[in-house]
Every structure is written in structure tokens, then in C-alpha cells.
Structure 1
Amino acid sequence: MNCYECRSGGRTTAAIAVCSRCHVGMCPEHLRIEAELVHEPRGMGQVTQGPEARRALCEVCARAES
């Protein structure tokens, strides 16, 4: 699989991750790693557990969430 952003720019670069939101392949240059709290339903409520999980995002999805 190749990086979607690089391919759009006319380059071919191997992807090392997939965006957890839009599922495009990303190279190290276009990869953004974000922290995400893990929420788990328990009983009548919800529990947030630590430590935070990793989430891989492309630049477009990372900008959209901020």
C-alpha cells in the first residue's frame, strides 16, 4: 500500500499506517499520532480507563478534529 497524500502529489511512498477515521494509507511524513481516552460502558454509567490509547490519523482528519 502507498501513501495517499504522496500519491496525490505525484510521489510513491510506502504507507506504514492507516488513518483510523478515513482509512487512507499514510507514510511517516503524513502520519499524526493522537492520544485517545478509552471509554467502556459499565453498569449504569461509563468508565474512562488509562493509560490513553494511540490513534493514527491523516493530516486532513487531524485538522478536522481540532
Structure 2
Amino acid sequence: MRCYDCLQEARTDTEGIGVCSRCGLATCENHAHVRQVHISHPAGLGRTYGARAARRVVCRTCDLAETTH
């Protein structure tokens, strides 16, 4: 599996390390961004969050789209 962003930069020597959880494209260690997300669980009338955050991998494009205001 090749990194999509590297292919756009005409680089074919990089292997993908994961798949973006937002768009589904392969991403390498240079283009991947690992984000922490808190998983919520319904609890009575509200929500509760676990003590540990989960990991989520996103590509550079999706990371910019999510963090740019």
C-alpha cells in the first residue's frame, strides 16, 4: 500500500502505515497525524467518557480540514 500524498508528490518509495479514518486513503508516517479522541458512552441522562483517549489516524488533508477554522 502506497501513501497517497507521496504519490501526489511523485514519490513512490514510501509505504503506507495506516488508513485515514476520515477519507480512507493510505498514509505514511510523514503524512499521518495521530489524534486522540475521547469515546463517550451513554450514562443515564448524560454521557460519560473513558479514562483513556483512543487513537485515530488522519491524513494531512483531513487533519488540516479538521483543525483549520
* TM-score of the pair, normalised by structure 2: 0.86
Verify the 8 A CA contact 1:38 1:50 in the aligned structure 2.
no
Gaps of 5+ in 2: none
The equivalent of 1:8 in structure 2 is 8
Deviation of 1:48 after TM superposition, in Å, equals 1.1
In the alignment of these two chains, the number of paired residues is: 66
Deviation of 1:32 after TM superposition, in Å, equals 0.4
Q: Percent identity?
A: 38
Report which of the two has the higher share of strand. Answer: 1
Q: After TM superposition, where is structure 1 displaced by more than 4 Å over at least 4 residues in a row? A: none
- Is the counterpart of residue 48 in structure 1 residue 49 in structure 2? yes
Gaps of 5+ in 1: none
Counterpart CA distance in 2 for 1:29 and 1:59 is 9
- Is the counterpart of residue 35 in structure 1 residue 39 in structure 2? no
